[in-house]
Amino acid sequence: MRYIVTGGTGLIGRALSASLAADGHDVVVLSRNPERAPAMADGVHLVRWDARTANGWGMLADGAEVIVNLAGASLRRRWTPRNKQLIRDSRLNAGQAVVDAVKRADAKPSAVIQASGAACYGPRSDEIVTETAEFGDGFLGRTAAQWEASTAAVEAFDVRRAIIRIGIVLSTEGGAFPLLALPYRFFVGGPLGPGDQWLPWIHIEDEVRAIRFLIDNQAAEGPFNLSAPKPLTNAEFGRTMARVMGRPALVRVPAFAVRLALGQMSTVVLHGQRAIPKRLLDLGFTFRFPQAQAALRDLL
């Protein structure tokens, strides 16, 4: 079977593509710069695209099994007006390209998996957040609402669509985890800001397993929180990290310092969501790493 992955050279896309290819599937990863892309697993084919249209790759959607749309500019940049526009446009343009490719295909894909983020819910304090919660009214909430809607039109072609609201993915290969672990390696780890903000985390192995579960499950439609069933506060996560690494967790980074360093992007760090993967669990998915200590021991 052929699978198409946009944003497939990123952390999640590489792991997902490798998993699909290992099972003998034909995996096509779309990349703006294939010659500069990181090394991909055997069986994964890089195809150039402009990240805006279906030109040059849309024919591959004809007869493809699934399109997984992970494309979008990184949030890890200062949120200047220009960068906010880049973050929004990169997501909406990629979504429209997927819709165009599905529209052109004679043999439509069976499903589209659309990425989003758990931060879409905005600051929620201690509220338990399931998939029925409303979007936040900040930049991330508004952007996520548009991002998720960008591929909604494929449903008119009888294509199943599942939306994955991704938490903080724990992996030694990239993403936020190496940065979270770094201070502890040098004995200067501790809470960021107040420490009581919730951290919706997920091990990279469970991230890939959950996406593949949603690909294969014909009942999987609509939004799904992709985060472990046992979220922790920032302080609890830090103490668990310290315990696993045999380090202290005493050096608190004050909120003003985080804001000074990150600007508006500091909201991602200083506010959190106690997100629970209710719909994923209801469908019968079993996490390999439901608790942070076991996940961190596996990674570290």
Q: Is it the case that residue 262 has pLDDT exceeding 80? A: no
Confidence at residue 264, expressed as pLDDT on a 0 to 100 scale? 72
Pairwise CA distance, residues 102 & 192, whole Å: 43
Do residues 296 and 242 make contact, with C-beta atoms less than 8 angstroms apart? no
- Residue 6: pLDDT band (50, 70, 90) is very high
Indicate the CATH number of 2-167+204-227+275-287 among 3.30.565.10, 3.40.50.720, 3.30.1280.10, 3.40.640.10.
3.40.50.720
176, amino acid identity: A
Express each pLDDT in 209-219 by its tens digit. 999 999 999 99
Confidence at residue 257, expressed as pLDDT on a 0 to 100 scale? 81
Measured from the Cβ of residue 204, the count of other Cβ atoms closer than 10 Å reads 24
Pairwise CA distance, residues 252 & 261, whole Å: 15
Considering only residues 256 and 199, tell me which one the structure prediction assigns the higher pLDDT.
Answer: 199
Helices 81-104 and 139-149 meet at what angle, rounded to 10? 10
Do residues 190 and 183 make contact, with C-beta atoms less than 8 angstroms apart? yes
Q: What stretches of the chain show up as alpha helix (H) in DSSP?
A: 11-22, 81-104, 139-149, 177-185, 204-216, 234-245, 255-262, 266-270, 278-282, 292-299
Q: Is it the case that residue 268 has pLDDT exceeding 80? A: no
Mean pLDDT, the chain, whole residue set: 94
Q: Is it the case that residue 227 has pLDDT exceeding 80? A: yes
Confidence at residue 256, expressed as pLDDT on a 0 to 100 scale? 81
pTM confidence score: 0.95
Helices 11-22 and 204-216 meet at what angle, rounded to 10? 60
CA distances from 172 to 12, 180, 187, 297 (A): 12, 11, 19, 12
Mean pLDDT value of segment 160-166 = 98
Task: Using a pLDDT cut of 90, give the percent of the chain over it.
Answer: 82
Pairwise CA distance, residues 165 & 160, whole Å: 17
Express each pLDDT in 83-92 by its tens digit. 999 999 999 9
Tokens of 32: 């703006």
Paired sense of beta strands 201-203 and 222-226, if any: unpaired
Q: Is it the case that residue 265 has pLDDT exceeding 70? A: no
Confidence at residue 271, expressed as pLDDT on a 0 to 100 scale? 86
Q: Which of 17-21, 152-156, 190-194, 264-268 has the lowest mean pLDDT?
A: 264-268
- Residue ranges per domain, the chain? 2-167+204-227+275-287
CA-nearest of 125, 137, 127, 134 to 165 is: 134
Mean pLDDT value of segment 123-140 = 94
Confidence at residue 116, expressed as pLDDT on a 0 to 100 scale? 98
What 137-140 contacts at long range (C-beta under 8 Å, 24+ apart), as own/partner pairs, is: 138/267, 139/79, 139/84, 139/264, 139/267, 140/75, 140/267, 140/268
Q: Is it the case that residue 148 has pLDDT exceeding 70? A: yes
